[in-house]
Amino acid sequence: MNGVVALKKENHRHSLPEERKQTMAARLPWMDLAIVAVFCAVVLVSAMGVVDRAKPAVSVPSGPLILVDPGHGGADGGAVAPDGTQEKDINLVISLHVADMLRVMGFEVSMTRSTDDMVNAVGSTMRERKVSDTKNRLAMVEQADLTVSIHQNKFPQSRYFGTQVFYSGNNEASRELAEQIRANVVAQLQPENKRELKKGDSNIYLLHKATKPIALVECGFLSNEEELEQLKDPVYQEKLALTVACSVIQYDP
């Protein structure tokens, strides 16, 4: 989410620990089994026509409506890594996994976008289109029972790393959801992550304006070479998605 959130000073974080690279693959084998089980289910039900990514949000869902919001899209690429990787692409891949997992688990799920596009953006300038896109996302957030917004971080210095979760100060449930996600990320993926929850201010429009529960997940730093490679790795993307999806279930919307 380049240029939107200023990084808070973190004096105790410098580089990605060597032990993280050595333990990531071995940590919590049950998660790998869970990923296999969930994705086998996704493949099966997709083949049967149960998971429909193109399905629009219904006006009166049978249960809680979960909105998954892949940040940026289309002409708005978001943050860009040194190797040219665009934030919008990683956001979309992780978000599609989250949405599929939640659908398989029985939730009614909608997405702000499921393709590489802005959200019904109109305007003659990029600024106008971004404003339109953001307001359209907010309208969808207000129609859902709970929203998870997926983003990536970036900073001029490459030493910063780790997932950080933001919440809306307009709804206490937002903080509860964000805390569940943060706790699971630390427990399952990043045991050395000391980043605290942050309340979104006016620089994060969705969090500042939303009245419904919403958490924004900055999955990692595109500016950190080692973390960038993880964020581009399909297995790690699935693990992140599973962590977020399980957090929604534990939150119990």
Tens digits of residue pLDDT in 158-211: 999 999 999 999 999 999 999 999 999 999 999 999 999 999 999 999 999 999
Using alpha carbons, select from 251, 227, 214, 98 the residue that is nearest to residue 160: 227
Domain-embedded: residue 203: yes
Domain-embedded: residue 3: no
**CATH number, domain at 166?**
3.40.630.40
Half-sphere exposure of 77 (CA within 13 A, CB side): 8
Domain-embedded: residue 46: yes
Q: Quote the number of domains for the chain.
A: 1
- Residue 229: give the domain boundaries: 24-251
Domain-embedded: residue 160: yes
Domain-embedded: residue 177: yes
**Helix (H), strand (E) at residue 45:** helix 29-47
Domain-embedded: residue 9: no
Distance CA 96, CA 93 (A): 5
Domain-embedded: residue 10: no
CB of 179 closer than 8 Å to CB of 197:
yes
| Tally of CB atoms within 10 A around 229 | 13
Domain-embedded: residue 229: yes
pTM (predicted TM-score) = 0.80
Residue 106 has pLDDT above 60, yes or no: yes
